[in-house]
Structure 1
Amino acid sequence: MCAVELLQKRRDDFHTLVLAQDAVAYGDKLAAGQGWGQRALQALDLDRDRLHLHGMKPRPDYLRVLQASSAHVYFTEPFVTSWSLSEALAAGCLVIGSLTPPVEELITDMQTGILVDMDDPEEVADMIEWAFDHPAEVAAIRARARAMICDRYAAEGGFADKAARLAALIAGTRTG
């Protein structure tokens, strides 16, 4: 949100859509009625006309948002990535992610996404702005990211293929 504050000051055309619950998923809970989003709104000078806060959306709506987005900012502490990182990459969305080991498992900087120091709002803002100003390069990154996810995790040759081989083994037949 600090990067959002910087970008709102730099660009009149900058809008941010946030789809989230203002709740703590991991770590210590905050006091009743408080969330990190609420804290950011109180602490930062944000133009609320260009900050669009929405709760969670049904998956089809969420996918449409990813596909239409200029960038999806994904930060996590060294822990694990969630399904949403793979989903964003598979949707062809440019992901600007934290330079942390779990994110680096899926994102190679400037190849399948952009990696940033999530504690450096200036760097985050700079890379979001770079994405706006370099559409051809971003299109190539988005295409490589989607291809990488499809190659690694597509059901064909993955679970579906293994399930068919297991079923054939149980039935006493062989598959190619």
Structure 2
Amino acid sequence: MRAVELLQNRRKDFETLVIAQDSVSYGQRLPKDDGWGKRALKALDLDQTRLHLHGLKPRDEYLKVLQASTAHVYFTEPFVTSWSLLEAMAAGCLVIGSNTAPVREKVDDMATGILVDMDDRDEVAEMIEWVFNNPLEAAEIRAQAREFVLEHFDARKVFAKKAEYLRALVALD
């Protein structure tokens, strides 16, 4: 959100859509009626007419948002990645992700996405703006990301490999 604040000041055409629950999934829970989103709104000078906060959406609506988005900002501490990272890549949405081990497992910087230091608001803002300013290069990254997901995580391939593996395990008895 600190990067959003910078970009709102730089670009009058910058709109941000946040689809999330303001809750903690990992780590210590925040007090009741508190959340990271609420804290950001209090601490930052954000133009809330250009900041659109929504709760979770049904999958079909979420996919439409991904497909229409310029970028999907995906940050995680060193935990496993969630399904939404691959979902965004498969939908052809350019991922700007945290330069952390689990994200690096899926995102090759400037090939299948963009890696940034999630604590460096200037770098995050710079790379979001790069996507706006370099549509042809961004389109190539989107295409490579989608191809990567289809090659490595397509359900038809993954489930076929799982079934083959399970048949081999059963045959060992």
Instruction: Report the TM-score range of the alignment, normalised by the length of the smaller protein.
Output: over 0.9
In the alignment, the residues of structure 2 paired with residue 165 and residue 97 of structure 1 have an alpha-carbon distance, to the nearest angstrom, of 32
- TM-score by structure 2 length? 0.93
| SS of match in other structure, 2:157 | coil
| 1:54-96 deviation per Cα after TM superposition (whole angstroms, max 9, x unaligned) | 1110000000000000000000011110111011111110000
Shift of 1:107: 0.3
| SS of match in other structure, 1:79 | coil
Aligned to 2:68: 68
| 1:143 partner letter | A
| 2:79 partner letter | F
In the alignment, the residues of structure 2 paired with residue 162 and residue 39 of structure 1 have an alpha-carbon distance, to the nearest angstrom, of 44
Matched, 1:118 2:118: yes
In the alignment, the residues of structure 2 paired with residue 89 and residue 52 of structure 1 have an alpha-carbon distance, to the nearest angstrom, of 22
In the alignment, the residues of structure 2 paired with residue 117 and residue 161 of structure 1 have an alpha-carbon distance, to the nearest angstrom, of 35
Aligned to 2:57: 57
Q: Which 4+ stretches in 1 moved above 4 angstroms? A: 164-167
Q: Structure 2 vs 1, CA of residues 20 and 165 (structure 1 numbering), >3 Å: closer, same or farther?
A: closer
| 2:9 partner letter | K
| SS of match in other structure, 1:17 | strand
Aligned to 1:31: 31
Aligned to 1:141: 141
Q: What RMSD in Å do the two structures reach over aligned CA positions?
A: 1.8
In the alignment, the residues of structure 2 paired with residue 161 and residue 41 of structure 1 have an alpha-carbon distance, to the nearest angstrom, of 46
Could you tell me which runs of 5 or more consecutive residues in structure 1 were left unpaired when the two chains were aligned: 171-176
In the alignment, the residues of structure 2 paired with residue 147 and residue 11 of structure 1 have an alpha-carbon distance, to the nearest angstrom, of 32
| 1:77-121 deviation per Cα after TM superposition (whole angstroms, max 9, x unaligned) | 111101110111111100000000000000000000000000000
Aligned to 1:108: 108
In the alignment, the residues of structure 2 paired with residue 122 and residue 38 of structure 1 have an alpha-carbon distance, to the nearest angstrom, of 22
| SS of match in other structure, 2:155 | coil
In the alignment, the residues of structure 2 paired with residue 165 and residue 41 of structure 1 have an alpha-carbon distance, to the nearest angstrom, of 49
| 1:142-168 deviation per Cα after TM superposition (whole angstroms, max 9, x unaligned) | 00000000000112333135537867x
| SS of match in other structure, 1:5 | helix
In the alignment, the residues of structure 2 paired with residue 100 and residue 166 of structure 1 have an alpha-carbon distance, to the nearest angstrom, of 32
Aligned length, in residue pairs: 171
Aligned to 1:11: 11
